[in-house]
Amino acid sequence: MIDPVEFSIMVVGCFLSMCMFSTLYGKSSPLYALAEESYIGFATGLTIVMNLMYIYNTGVVGIQGGDWILIFGFILGIATLLRINPKYSYLSRLPIAITLGAQLGLSLRTQIYTGFIDQIKASIIPLFEGSAKTLIYNWTTFICVIFMLSFFLYTIEIKGPIKLSAKIGEYLMYASFGAIFAQTFMGRLGLFVGSIQNFTVPPWKKPILIACMAIVLVALIALDKLNLLEKLTPEE
């Protein structure tokens, strides 16, 4: 026996999802607008709820536990919200400056290592030790890194050996773009497959999926034939 709440979740979710897919028809439609505005509205509400919960659990509970300094978080936070008032928006500059400075400190102190020094260190790999497979891998990586780096030199004139190196780097980059594009497609396909899979497991969902697909497609074609698609779609 299927739970009525679960059934209603499936029907509404599937219908709205098919409405969102209606954008692939190539013309704007009120069905897509319905799905879009539903998502924007509910997701905004969810974001607000979750952030309020975080502020309460970290800030309010922390203050109640004796961490009085966290009151400054609330003072600065409320000052930030004053950004919306033209008369008092200047009050938001100080909290923005403080948070920006702190966040710059957080990122600059670590990214110098993870994004630069460690990457340079990892590029210095043994080129004359190891098995044949290891040597092939290491030499390929080393050559790719050196030549690709030379392609990104913008501060000197690209001529002579640097020009040849940059040209080779460009070709190597195109080869790597092929690999990256395939991984990107795998990712996007996975997102799509996963979203449809949501409506096929367990098996009782399958007829609902097919019905929603048919209803939305028929509705789209009917609205298009009656020239109602544009008339009912909200203006951008």
Partner 1 sequence: MSLLKSFNSYDSRIVYLLLFLIVTIPLLSPMGLPISVSPSTVTYYDVIDALGPDDLVLVVLDTEFSGYMEIQSGIIASMRVMVERDAKMCVAVSHPEATGIPELVFAAIRETVEEHGYTYGEDYVILGYVFPNEAAVASAAQDWQGVIHKDFYGQSTEGTFLDQIHDWSDWTLISDYTTGIQSGSLINHFGLRGTPMIVNCIGVMISTQMPYLSTGIYQALLQSMRGGAELEYLTGHPGPGMTAMDAFTLGHYMLIVLIIIGNIGYFGTKENSRRNVE
Partner 2 sequence: MKSRELSLIAMFLSFLVVFVPYFIDVPALDTFSTKLITITAITVSFTLLLAIHSQFKRGFDFVRRKPRGWIFKVYMMITIVLMLLFALGGLETGSYHWAMYAIITPLSSVNYGILAFYLASTCARAFKARNTKSILLILTGFIMLLYQAPFTGAFFDLGPIGIYLANTFGLAAGRMFLISVTVGAMVFGIRILLGQEPGVLGIRSEE
| Max CA distance (Å), the chain | 76
47 part of the interface to partner 1, by CB under 8 A: yes
Cis previous bond, 202, omega within 30 = yes
> CB under 5 to 8 A by kind: which of partner 2, partner 1, none does 76 bind?
partner 2
**Residue 100 contact among partner 1, partner 2, none, beta carbon within 5 to 8 Å by kind:** partner 2
User: Of 19-27, 76-84, 147-155, 220-228, which segment contacts partner 1 by CB under 8 A?
Assistant: 19-27
Looking at the Cβ atoms of 13 and 33, the one nearer to partner 1 is: 13
* Nearest-angstrom CA–CA distance, 162 and 69: 56
Among the listed residues 117, 69, 76, the one whose alpha carbon sits nearest the alpha carbon of residue 97: 76
Residue placing its CB nearer to partner 2 in the complex, 186 or 214: 186
The piece of 155-163, 178-186, 201-209, 221-229 that touches partner 2 (CB under 8 A) is 178-186
The 8 Å CB, 24+ separation contacts for 12-18 are: 13/198, 13/199, 14/199, 14/205, 14/208, 14/209, 14/212, 15/212, 15/215, 15/216, 17/195, 17/199, 17/212, 18/212, 18/213, 18/215, 18/216
Looking at the Cβ atoms of 48 and 222, the one nearer to partner 1 is 48
Residue 206's binding partner among partner 2, partner 1, none (Cβ under 5 to 8 angstroms by kind) is partner 1
Nearer to partner 1, 69 or 156 (CB): 69
Residue 208 interacts with, from partner 2, partner 1, none (CB under 5-8 Å by kind): none
